[in-house]
Structure 1
Amino acid sequence: MTDLAADKLPTTTSPAAKVETPLRRFISAFCESKLALFGLVLVIIIAIAAVLAPWLAPQNPYDIAKLDIFDSKMPPGSASSDGTLTYWLGTDGQARDMLSAIMYGLRVSLLVGAVSVVAALAIGTMVGLVAAYFGGRVDAFLMRCVDIQLSFPAILVALILLAVLGQGVDKVLYALIAVQWAYFARAARAAALVEREKEYIEAARCLALPQRRILWRHLLPNCLPPLIVIATVEIAHAIALEATLSFLGLGVPVTEPSLGKLIANGFEFLMAGKYWIALFPGVALAIALIGINLVGDHLRDILNPRNAR
């Protein structure tokens, strides 16, 4: 009898087992998509290859003392002239190991993409929040500036700026920030216009809280989810734009590693049958863009309330 009574008793679970934190919900929602997980794996691989390039790369491709001109334009799988190194992806016209050059090029491409997007996100978010919160002439003036910026193609603005500023990683960063901040300003304003009419903003105004505190402590956190999604996608856009500018000869100089510069260096050898010099940097660029876009697309689906199930 006691056993039967014990079986009929309702089982109780600990409160901690029932609690599902937002982080756990986000992780479970993200893991539902195999494409997103595949993209995340690609991003992790290229990030590790870029960060650990000085230790993982077989060669420092930008150390002239370690290059042998007799090893130039060697096909994939060839051994170096001294027999100490295998060029798994071949070498380019300067006898640089393509695998090492790609790993070093990923460092610059990812750095330029991430830093430019973070800076553009900060500037654009500030402009959008100020425009939406104060409205009136402030909103009209700031949004006209955004409209003027968005009316020109991004590649055209970047080309003009780099033609004036010159080559260099810092110059590319300035150009990318200048062409990206308007996207974040438009998105931040749209989100802030919805949030500023809600009760918690009205309550903060009634309590006579400083406007700076209302903007950054109350309004900003609730406008971040769509901006994070846009930032993820814009990293891929910034990497592709930097590669385009470097390919055209207006991005990073020849002495700096970049995927776009590597593709440009190999383009002249395509007709001679040296396909690997441009092919493998292009494949690395495509893998980076695909991985970032897959992660960004699924983040958009997760953080968009209209897509919530």
Structure 2
Amino acid sequence: MSEPAVLTADAAPVPPKPETPWQRLRREFLANRLAVLGLVLLVATVLVAVLAPWIAPQDPYDIGKLDIFDSKLPPGSRSADGAITYWLGTDGQARDLLSAIFYGLRTSLVVGGVSVLAALAIGSVVGLVAAYFGGWVDALLMRIVDIQLSFPAILVALILLAILGKGVDKVIIALIIVQWAYFARAARGAALVERAKEYVEAAQCMSLGWPRVLMRHMLPNCMPPLIVIATIDLAHAIALESTLSFLGVGVPVTEPSLGMLISNGFEFMLSGHYWISFFPGIALAVAIIGLNLVGDHLRDLLNPHHAR
């Protein structure tokens, strides 16, 4: 009977457990300071927007709580009754700018997030169908995408809102129509690569229906580039909504929005009341910069051709 093997000090060390793709992605993401800064800005923006009803000093859209004597007060002023300190000042309607920014972030993030998610869903389906069937289906769908992308986004949104009218839901519909073509083009490009792989051929040989092949097998493998585009496009959607509201064709005056807050203070800029537009503009810039920093680094991690 042979003796059991005895481990000695010279035995080979146990190799480390290999990283999963998500562990590698997290490690490389956290190693980039700009990406971490963008993530911190993004998380702070979302938390402020979600917790606005609890952390805002005032409900800026409750008319009963506004005092006309507090109109256009500079930053650091106290209210007429001494109950509130307006750290960022007030606007022409006597609303606390800090509270209005908190509520405005909620509207901007909701409009941008809902429109991007809906555009992602529509565009992904269109792109996958075009790549899977090819032929005249691909040609027809891509010509529609080309026509959509040939027009400036702001022009299409302005025309749609001129037809639909003002309202948060109208702005969301307009942004969905403006954005879906970007996702369709990206989804088609990723799906063409997946279409030629063996697992798709195996699924076809098993007589699986094309909806199941697209949604269950091809779509998960096409999601990484679409997630990156969605992150960057969210910043674009927020900026576009703010532009439309600033022009007076987006969110109505009675709804909180960063673009509407900037527009409300624009007429007072020459009279020295800079803070009415300045601080909402800073909040808008922080949200967009955070999203862009996160999206740019995700693009570099998930697509090595873009790595610098």
Do the structures match in fold with TM over 0.5?
yes
**Cα deviation code 1:5-32 (max 9, x no counterpart):** 954344447xxx6142222111101111
Q: Which residue of 2 aligns with 1:268?
A: 267
Q: Which residue of 2 aligns with 1:292?
A: 291
The yes-or-no answer on 1:76 pairing with 2:43 is no
Question: What is the CA-CA distance between 1:247 and the residue it aligns to?
Answer: 0.2
Q: Which residue of 1 aligns with 2:29?
A: 30
- One-letter identity of the residue aligned with 1:235: L
TM-score, normalised by the number of residues in structure 2 = 0.95
How far, CA to CA, are the matches of 1:308 and 1:149 in structure 2? Answer: 29
SS at match of 2:245: helix
**Cα deviation code 1:61-81 (max 9, x no counterpart):** 000111110000000001111
SS at match of 1:271: helix
SS at match of 1:8: coil
Question: What is the CA-CA distance between 1:151 and the residue it aligns to?
Answer: 1.0
How far, CA to CA, are the matches of 1:98 and 1:127 in structure 2? Answer: 42
Question: What is the CA-CA distance between 1:207 and the residue it aligns to?
Answer: 2.2
SS at match of 2:42: helix
The yes-or-no answer on 1:131 pairing with 2:133 is no
The yes-or-no answer on 1:8 pairing with 2:10 is yes
Q: Which residue of 1 aligns with 2:47?
A: 48
How far, CA to CA, are the matches of 2:230 and 2:12 in structure 1? Answer: 49
- One-letter identity of the residue aligned with 2:190: A
Q: Which residue of 2 aligns with 1:225?
A: 224
- One-letter identity of the residue aligned with 1:188: A
How far, CA to CA, are the matches of 1:248 and 1:57 in structure 2? Answer: 27
Which stretch shifts more, 290-299 or 23-32? 23-32
**Cα deviation code 1:66-112 (max 9, x no counterpart):** 11100000000011111111000000000000000000000000000
- One-letter identity of the residue aligned with 1:238: A
- One-letter identity of the residue aligned with 1:36: A
Q: Which residue of 2 aligns with 1:150?
A: 149
1:144-293 alignment runs, 5 A limit: 144-293=143-292
- One-letter identity of the residue aligned with 1:245: L
TM-score, normalised by the number of residues in structure 1 = 0.95
Give identity over the alignment, percent. Answer: 71
How far, CA to CA, are the matches of 2:232 and 2:26 in structure 1? Answer: 19
The yes-or-no answer on 1:117 pairing with 2:145 is no
**Cα deviation code 1:153-173 (max 9, x no counterpart):** 110010001001100000000
How far, CA to CA, are the matches of 1:193 and 1:20 in structure 2? Answer: 29
Q: Which residue of 1 aligns with 2:99?
A: 100
- Shift in CA distance, 10/198, structure 1 to aligned 2, threshold 3 Å: closer
- One-letter identity of the residue aligned with 1:223: C
How far, CA to CA, are the matches of 2:284 and 2:232 in structure 1? Answer: 15
**Cα deviation code 1:33-61 (max 9, x no counterpart):** 10000000000111010000000000000
How far, CA to CA, are the matches of 2:13 and 2:240 in structure 1? Answer: 59
- One-letter identity of the residue aligned with 1:8: D
Q: Which residue of 2 aligns with 1:57?
A: 56
Which stretch shifts more, 49-58 or 187-196? 187-196
- Shift in CA distance, 34/147, structure 1 to aligned 2, threshold 3 Å: same
How far, CA to CA, are the matches of 1:48 and 1:212 in structure 2? Answer: 37
The yes-or-no answer on 1:21 pairing with 2:23 is no
- Shift in CA distance, 174/85, structure 1 to aligned 2, threshold 3 Å: same
**Cα deviation code 1:121-143 (max 9, x no counterpart):** 00000000001100111111111
SS at match of 2:239: helix
How far, CA to CA, are the matches of 1:308 and 1:179 in structure 2? Answer: 29
SS at match of 1:250: coil
Which stretch shifts more, 62-71 or 212-221? 212-221
RMSD value over aligned CA atoms?
A: 1.4
